[in-house]
Amino acid sequence: MWMMGRKLRLMILGILGLSFVLWGMVACGDPACDAGQVVKDGQCVTLTESTSEKKEESNQEVTSEQAVELTVAEPPVSTEETAVSEPVLEKKEVKPESPTPDEPVLVDASESVDVTPEDGPEPEPVVEEVPEPSGPKPTVEITGPKDGAVIKDASLAIEIRATVATGAQIDRVELYIDGKKWSDTQQTPYRFSISKGRLTDGPHSLKAIAITTRYQQASTQIKITTAANGPTIKFIKPTAGSSVSGAFALVVEVKSALKLKANSVILKVDGKVVTWDKTTPNYEVKFDPKDIAYDSFPIVVTATDQYDLTKSEQLVLVHDPKPGPKKAGEACDNSVALQRCVAGHSCLDITGKPQCYANCDTKAATNPCQTANCLSHKCQPSHMGTKRGVCFPTGPAPGCLNSECTTTRRCVTGLICVGAGTAPSTRRWCLSSCTVGSVLLGCRGKGYKCVNAGTTGVCIELCRQPCKADKDCGDNQTCSNGLCGGPFCQKYGAPCRSIQAGAGTPAFNACI
């Protein structure tokens, strides 16, 4: 019984296999038979209606909108082994999936894809066609400057003349300097102006090209030399405002696009010519300022090129020698050890004679200078312009001798606020009181005169008194050009005026 069941199953499987072969031949067809026929036992046999329907059904076109998936349905399971049904082909509609906005669309690289911009195809570049030159050629000439000229002016003026025969016109004139286009113009007369410094000193080539409206052109070229800037001078060491305490090395760089005149680089220290130790590659010298009388001193370097262009540069240094005993206001001389200033002071020549001044910081928020001897002082740079400042007297302190006073700005004890002069004056000054004609109660010190100022006498500083030496003048006065001058007149700008003490008395000169 089991053997019979096995044979039956093999027979069913054989029938099924043959059915699939026949169905495949119907679906694929045979190129040797007519339409609707298949090969069977070596002969073309017409298919039955059911087989033709299956072939037509299998040959239906699958479109992109509807895909067909063929599936094999399992035969129903029968309790009896002999009940076996053929597999049934079913159609299942499958809709193509659309990519979501966040998912990239993959394109097969083997397929060619045309991508067209949204704005349309990219325009092709336009190539401007330049017509062939025609008509007469122009003539061009650089009329100024002349070929080989040396230009020393602050600006370079270039004039060009361009002409063409009748029937054609000049479109423009182009200027080239050293092979590079500088500018062009269509306006006649054809002129170009180049300011000083735009061109370096030295040789240059100028080329002019004239172009007609019919594209004919002509050119001309000349050579010139510009000499408008002069040499350059740079102090390498020491730098501006530096302090030196003894001998130091001075190094200066001098450059010129043109040749320098022989021995034309001159060095002067404090007004005296100093010889260079070396002149290449830089100019160098070792200098000792021991013979200079005061602290700050100028160093001036002058250079001249082959076309007589001269440039000068100045460097100011501060000399800090070993301190001496001299105090502020006292005469000094740095070339003599015992005539030098105490520490923190500078020996400067500001009023005509070197004297010691207290050093100060010019950048201080408040005035670092103190009022001394009833004089106001101000921190200011020295006359050489160095960064270090000195306390310089600017005039009498308020309420002190010879300072101006009012009813609200009173004088210090021992001084009275009075007016003086031959004419009524609203200005008044703090002056020392005295008794006219009295030796004991007269003016203290030399160089003052006791004059009547109404109810009391006052001491006035004399000025412009004849003298031969300082000893002929009053205290704190100097003899200059045969006349005495007090510090109030000379330093603080008080006028030296003619004063008459009273009617019938001789006039005299006094600072007030």
Which residues lie across from 190 on neighbouring strands?
160
Contacting residues for 25 by C-beta, under 8 A, at least 6 apart: 38, 39
From first to last of its 512 residues, what are the pLDDT tens digits of the chain?
A: 445 556 566 676 666 666 555 555 544 444 556 665 665 666 666 655 444 444 444 444 444 344 334 334 444 444 444 444 444 444 444 444 544 444 444 444 344 444 444 555 666 766 667 689 999 999 999 999 999 999 988 788 999 999 999 888 999 999 999 999 999 999 999 999 998 778 889 999 999 999 999 999 999 999 999 998 889 999 999 987 788 888 999 999 999 999 999 999 999 998 999 999 999 999 999 999 988 888 888 899 999 999 999 999 999 888 888 999 999 888 999 999 999 999 989 898 877 788 898 888 888 778 788 776 667 788 887 756 666 788 887 776 777 776 778 777 778 777 888 765 444 456 777 878 888 777 777 776 677 778 777 667 878 777 777 888 888 877 667 787 888 765 555 544 556 777 665 566 667 777 66
* CA–CA gap between residue 292 and residue 288 (Å, rounded): 9
Which residues lie across from 183 on neighbouring strands?
175
* CA–CA gap between residue 149 and residue 228 (Å, rounded): 13
For 114, 293, 355, 400, 431, the CA distances from 415, given in Å and listed in that order, are 108, 39, 29, 8, 5
The dihedrals phi and psi of 55, each to the nearest 5 degrees, come to -65, -40
Structure tokens at 220: 């001309």
Which CATH class, in words, describes the domain spanning 139-226?
mainly beta
Name the residue ranges covered by the structural domains of the chain. Answer: 139-226, 232-319, 352-396, 404-511
CA triple 263-264-268, angle to 5 deg: 100
Beta strands in 76-146 (DSSP E): 88-94, 139-144
**Cβ atoms within 10 Å, residue 506:** 6
Name the average pLDDT for the chain.
76
pTM of the model: 0.50
For 188, 239, 288, 504, the CA distances from 314, given in Å and listed in that order, are 47, 11, 18, 58
Residue 87, pLDDT score? 46
Residue 385, pLDDT score? 63
The helix or strand, by DSSP H or E, that contains position 296, with its residue range, turns out to be: strand 296-304
Domain 232-319 grouped into CATH 3.40.50.80: no
Beta strands in 407-477 (DSSP E): 415-418, 428-434, 448-452, 457-461
Asked if the peptide bond before residue 104 counts as cis, ω within 30 degrees of 0, the response is no
* 254-270 exposure pattern, b = at least 16 Cβ within 10 A, e = fewer: bebbbebbeebbbbebb
In three-state secondary structure terms, 15 is helix
Whether 139-226 and 232-319 share one fold: the answer is yes
Query: Exposed, middle or buried: residue 37 (CB in 10 Å: 0-12, 13-18, 19+)?
Result: middle
Q: How many residues are there in the chain?
A: 512
Q: What pLDDT, in 10s, does the model give residues 224-274?
A: 999 988 899 999 999 877 888 889 999 999 999 999 999 999 999 989 999
For 46, 132, 231, 388, 403, the CA distances from 163, given in Å and listed in that order, are 101, 20, 41, 66, 80
Structure tokens at 293: 């009388």
In this structure, which amino acid lies at residue 211?
I
CB 233 within 8 A of CB 252: yes
